[in-house]
């Protein structure tokens, strides 16, 4: 297996840390992640999304996504810290890493939309 570069960002979100944690956990589980760390008091989630058993080499379904979230905040605002990377078979990582990077960024965007839904 080969891993892509680790990407880290921090995003302020206009919701309480409790609400952000519940929404983040729901979103991460909906994306099919297996959670290794679930610490609601510390505001931490960490896990890995494994590839589909029937995934074809060279497709986004063959990529793994590793994710760690850290939430720090109060009753009205939370800072959401993300650290993530994609992991793929070596043959795929050297030739089609754009597929895994696109999958990683799209997955994180969907998770963020659950934590902070777009304004109506």
Check residue 91 and give its pLDDT: 80
Backbone angles phi, psi at 64, to 5 degrees: -100, 150
Distance CA 55, CA 35 (A): 21
Class of the CATH-defined domain 2-115: alpha beta
CB 63 within 8 A of CB 103: yes
Q: What is the pTM of this model?
A: 0.88
Q: How many CB atoms are closer than 10 A to CB 113?
A: 12
Check residue 29 and give its pLDDT: 96
Check residue 78 and give its pLDDT: 93
Distance CA 73, CA 48 (A): 25
Mean pLDDT, range 33-39, rounded to an integer? 95
Check residue 107 and give its pLDDT: 96
pLDDT tens track for 42-83:
999 999 999 988 989 888 899 999 999 999 988 889 999 999
Of the chain, the percentage scoring pLDDT greater than 70 comes to: 97
Helix axes 97-115, 17-30, angle to 10 degrees: 140
Check residue 81 and give its pLDDT: 95
């Amino acid at each position: 297996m080969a891993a892509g570069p680790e990407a880290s960002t921090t995003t302020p979100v206009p919701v309480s840390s409790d609400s952000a944690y519940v929404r983040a956990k729901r979103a991460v589980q909906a994306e099919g992640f297996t959670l290794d760390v679930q610490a609601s008091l510390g505001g931490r989630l960490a896990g890995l999304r494994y590839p589909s058993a029937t995934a074809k080499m060279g497709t986004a379904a063959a990529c793994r996504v590793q994710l760690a979230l850290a939430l720090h905040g109060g009753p009205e605002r939370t800072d959401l810290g993300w650290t993530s990377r994609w992991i793929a078979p070596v043959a795929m990582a050297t030739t089609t890493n754009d597929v895994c990077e696109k999958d990683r960024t799209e997955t994180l965007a969907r998770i963020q939309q659950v934590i902070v839904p777009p304004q109506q």
